[in-house]
A and B are shown apart, each in its own frame.
Chain A
C-alpha cells in the first residue's frame, strides 16, 4: 500500500500555487535612484526573507529571485502572518546585555562538565580566546553543535589605527585611543572578563546574575524561552523603547537586553577587512555624528560593569547577531569588531550592520492568493484543454495523412510521455512546480511538435510526387531536406523561449520554459523516434505500395502509381 502511494506520488508532478492553492507575493525593490539593485543584495534579501518565513514554521514555502524581484510562495492559508513578516524591513539596534544564559533549561545534556561555566562560556561572547578555549572544548553537545561559533569570542576594540581608516570625523578623537588600541589589537590580549558566578542551581538560568533593572515579566519569559527551537523569534519586530528577551542568531544563547541605545540608522558604514598586524578578519564600523556620541555614551557607561553587562548586543530581525564585550569607552565614532571571523562571516556581519535586515527596500507589487477550489478548476481546465487539443490534432493528422497520421500520432504520444516524465522528474528533483502557464505552454507547443512531422511528411510526399522509385529512398532523401528545416524552425522557437525566459517576469517565464522544453523534446523525438520509425515503416507493403489509406497514395497525390510508371517507362 505504502509503496503504491509512494509510486503514485512519484508520478504526479508537484503543482504551482495557482493550481494547488496558496499565496504568491511579488516584492519589487525600491531604489532611491531607480537603478537596478545589485545581485548580491537581492541574494541576501532572499536569504533573510527565507529565514523569516521558515522561522514562522510555514512549511514548504519558497522564496526565490525572479529577475530583480523576489517571489515568495506560500502554500495553503496563513497569508496574513506571512505578509506581515516579509513586508517589514527590520533595523539593527544596539542594546546592552542585562542577562545571559545557555539556550535551554535542560542540564541533562551535560554529562560531565559543570553546566554553568561551559554554558556561560558558550553564551558569553565576552569570554576571550585564552580562557574560553578549554571551556569550549568541554562545552555541552548543544554548544558544540551550534552552526556558527563566530559570535562566541569577539571583542569590540578601540578604533583601529590603520591609515586606511582615517576618516575626518574620527581623527579628532583618535589620538587618545590609538595607543591603547594598538596594544589591544590582538583579541588574545583582551583582559578576560570572568564569566558570571557559577550557578549551583541548573534549573534557573538567572541564578547568580544581577537581575536589577529588569522588568519582572521579562525574567519569566527569559526562563521559559527555548532558543534551540526552530522558531526562536526571527523576524520579531522589537520596540526600541522596551527591554526584550532574544536568542542568539545560531540558537546557542539567550539574552535579556536593555532598551536600544543606538539604532542601525546611525551607522554610516561597516566594512570587513583584515587586521594589518594579526591578519585576522575584522569589521570596521563607522557612526554618524549622533550615533557616534550615543555609542561613546553607552560604551563609556557599560565598559566598567561586570559581565555580562559590559556586552553590547546587536539585534537584527529579533535575534542577536553579535554581542561583543566593550573593553573601553569608544569615543571616536568608529569601532572595530574582532574575533574568529572568516571572510564570509565578516562580510555578512558588515552588511547586516550596514543595511539592517534587508539590504533593500521592497514594495509588494502583487499579492495573489488562489483558493484550492479555484486552483483545481484551473488545473482541470488546463488538462481538459490539453487533452482536447491533442485529440483534435491527432484526429486532423489521421484525417489528412491517414497511415502517416498514425506515425504522427505515435510520435505525439512519445513526446507527451517524454514531456510528462521530464516535468515529473524536474518537479521532484529540481524544485520545478507545474503551473497554469506551463500547462498552456505545453498545450500550445503541441502545434510545434506536430509541425515537425508535417514538414517531414510533406517532404516525403514531395519526393514521391517527383518520382522517387521506392518509398525507402524517398524517406531518406526527404529526411535530409526536412531535417534542416526542422532544425532552423525549432532554433527560432528556442531563441524565442530563451529570450522570454530570461527577460520576462512572472508567468511569462514559466510559459517560455515550457515552450523551450517542448522544442527540445520535439527535436529529440523527431530525430530518435519519428525518423527511425518512418524508415522501418517504409519497408511495410501497406506504405511502400501506396495503399489508399497509407497517406502515400500516389494517385491521390496527383502522380501515377509507381507500378504504372514503371510500365510506362518500359
Chain B
C-alpha cells in the first residue's frame, strides 16, 4: 500500500525534523515575533471578568432584537450596555452595578420579556478580581515550571527539562499572539485553557524525550549514528503516536468547541475549548519541531556526543570514499541503513 497515509500507519516515515532545525527555528522566531508584536500593538481583549462589570444572560424570546434589549436595559439608568447573541440567549454586558441596580435590571428585563426574575442570570465582577485571578495564574505558572524543571531533571536530565520549558513558553506566547491578533475575548476560562496547554505541551514532549532517551541510550560507543540522527529516528518513531495523541486530544476539545459555539454561544465552554484548540495545534508543532531540535542543539555540545559525531562523520566519509571507488552511486545514509538491516538478519 503506497502513499503517505499508509507509510504513516506503518511508521516508516522519515522526516528530517532535526536536520532542518534552522528552518523550524526561523519559523518559530518569526511566529514569536509576530505574536509579541500583536501583544504589544493590540494587547489582549480582556473579558468582563478582568475589567470588572456586570453581565446578564437570559433566554432570547422571539421578536426581541439587539436594539430593543439595549434600550430596555439602558432605560434602567445603566450606561455602557453591550448586547450580544449567545446561542439561545441574550448576553448583556454593562459596567459594574450595585446590588439594587442588578435587581432593577433583572426586574425590568423579566417584565419586558415575560420571564421570571430568577431566569435572568447575572454576574457582577469587581474590578480587582481579574487582577487576583491573573496574579494567581502567574504564580501557578511559575511554580509549575519550577516543579516540572525539577521533575524532568530527575526523571531525564536538565537539558530535556530546559528544552521542554522553552517549547512550553513558545506555545504560550504564540497562543497569546493568536488571541491578540484575532481579538478573541480572554476570560478566566481562557486562562484555564492556557494553563492546560502547559500540561499537554509537556506531555507530548515527555513521550518523545522518553523515546529519545531509549534510542540514544543504545548508541554507546559504536560509530553508527550521531545523537542528531538517533534523535531524529526516535522522533520519526513516535511521530505517528504524537499525531495520534494530538488528534485524540484535539477531537474532544473540538467537540466542546462545537457544542459551546453552536448550543451555548458564549461562556466557559467556548472560551476554554478555543484556547485549548489553538494551544494544542501549536503544541503539536512545538513538540516535534521545537522541543527536540533544541534538545539536540544542547546535546551536540556535549563532548561525548561531539566525539561520536566526529567518528560517525569519519566513518561516513570513509564509506562514501569506498563507495566512490567501487563506483556504486549509493548514498552514505542508505548504506548505513542496509548495513543495519543485514546486522539484524545475521543476529537471528
Which residues of A are at the interface with B, using a C-beta cutoff of 8 A? 18, 21, 26, 28, 67, 69, 76-77, 80, 83-84, 363-374, 377-378, 380-382, 384-386, 388-390, 392-393, 396-397, 400, 436-437, 440, 443-444, 446-448, 450-451, 454-455, 458, 461-462, 465, 467, 481, 484-485, 488-489, 491-493, 495-497, 499-500, 503-508, 511, 515, 556-558, 569
Tell whether, in the assembled complex, residue A448 and residue B118 are in contact, meaning their CB atoms are under 8 Å apart: no
- The answer to the question of B34 belonging to the interface, with a C-beta cut-off of 8 Å to chain A, is no
Contact between B252 and A377 (Cβ–Cβ < 8 Å)?
A: no
A444-B252, A454-B241, A503-B143 known; A489-B123 Cβ under 8 A: no
Give Cα distance in the complex from A446 to B136, angstroms: 27
- Identify which of B102, B133, B192, B248 contacts A450 (C-beta below 8 A): B248
Neighbouring B residues of A485 by C-beta, 8 Å? 206-207, 210-211
Is there contact, CB below 8 Å, between B269 and A458?
no
| Cβ contacts under 8 Å, A481 to chain B | 214
- In the complex formed, the residue of B with least CB distance to A485 is B210
Nearest to A565 among chain B residues (CB) is: B348
Interface centre among B89, B211, B253, B259 (most CB of A within 10 A): B259
Please give me the residue from chain B that is nearest to A389 by CB atom.
Answer: B252
Closest 4 CB pairs of A and B: A389-B252, A447-B249, A558-B10, A503-B140
Q: Which of A440, A458, A508 contacts B195 (CB 8 A)?
A: A508
CB pair B259 A557 closer than 8 Å: no
Task: Give the shortest distance, in Å, between B301 (CB) and chain A (any CB).
Answer: 25
Residue in A443, A458, A496, A503 whose beta carbon sits within 8 Å of that of B256 in the complex? A443
Sample (14) of A-B pairs whose CB atoms are under 8 Å apart: A28-B129, A69-B132, A385-B260, A390-B252, A451-B203, A458-B241, A461-B11, A492-B203, A495-B148, A496-B198, A497-B199, A499-B147, A503-B136, A511-B196
- In the bound complex, CA of A392 to CA of B128 (Å): 41
Contact A374 B129 (CB under 8 A): no
Extra A-B contacts (19), CB below 8 Å, given A507-B268, A508-B137: A366-B124, A368-B122, A377-B88, A377-B89, A377-B264, A385-B259, A392-B254, A393-B252, A400-B9, A444-B256, A447-B245, A454-B241, A488-B210, A489-B203, A496-B195, A499-B147, A505-B133, A507-B192, A508-B192
Q: Give chain B nearest CB distance to A377 CB in angstroms.
A: 6
Q: B87 contacts which chain A residues (CB < 8 A)?
A: 377
Specify which chain B residues have a CB less than 8 angstroms from the CB of A368 in the assembled complex: 121-124
Q: Which residues of A contact B252 (CB under 8 A)?
A: 385-386, 388-390, 392-393, 443-444, 446-447
For the residues of A in contact with B, the DSSP-based class is helix
Contacts of B238 in A (CB 8 A): 458
CB distance from B64 to the nearest CB of A (A): 16
What is the minimal beta-carbon distance from B314 to any residue of chain A, in angstroms? 29
B189 sits at the interface (CB 8 A): yes
- Give the contacts of B232-285 with A (CB-CB under 8 A): 237-238, 240-241, 244-245, 247-256, 258-260, 263-264, 267-269, 272-273, 276
